[in-house]
């Protein structure tokens, strides 16, 4: 007698992040994740390498001129977050460390 298997769905799919095309946290919400905050404060280059590596890019992307702008743009497009390349460049050049922390929080949220 042949056996059959039945798949039962136990968990419903979950939508991660905001549906309105916004970042899940503000740029200055650095205290939302103290580990990321401390890493960004004391080792900003390391958090850039962490972001690039976890996003599937070479760690050296964080050290290249424009590398983090490209990473932020790609992340924003992948997660359906509104914005422009010009905005990405301005935010990374003016408030890079805070933005690296926000990008790390967003990445963690989407990897759950």
Give how many domains the chain has, as a whole number: 1
- Alpha-carbon distance of 58 to 73, in angstroms, equals 16
Angle at which helix 67-78 crosses helix 44-54, to 10 degrees, equals: 50
Q: pLDDT tens digits, residue range 15-42?
A: 444 557 888 888 777 677 888 888 888 8
Q: Is the pLDDT of residue 9 over 60?
A: no
Asked if the structure places residue 46 within a domain, the reply is: yes
Handedness of CA 81, 87, 92, 94 (dihedral sign): negative
Three-class SS state of 95: helix
Out of 26-40, 43-57, 75-89, least confident range: 26-40
Domain hosting 104: range is: 31-110
Asked if the structure places residue 58 within a domain, the reply is: yes
- The tokens for 105 are 């929080």
């Amino acid at each position: 007698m042949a056996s059959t298997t039945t798949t039962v769905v136990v968990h419903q799919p979950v939508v991660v992040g905001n549906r309105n095309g916004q970042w899940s946290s503000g740029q200055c919400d650095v205290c939302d994740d103290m580990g990321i905050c401390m890493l960004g404060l004391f080792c900003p280059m390391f958090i850039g390498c962490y972001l690039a590596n976890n996003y599937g890019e070479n760690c050296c992307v964080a050290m290249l001129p424009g590398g983090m702008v490209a990473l932020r743009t790609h992340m924003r497009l992948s997660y359906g977050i509104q914005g422009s390349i010009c905005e990405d460049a301005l935010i990374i050049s003016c408030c890079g460390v805070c933005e690296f922390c926000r990008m790390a929080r967003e990445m963690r949220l989407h990897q759950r």
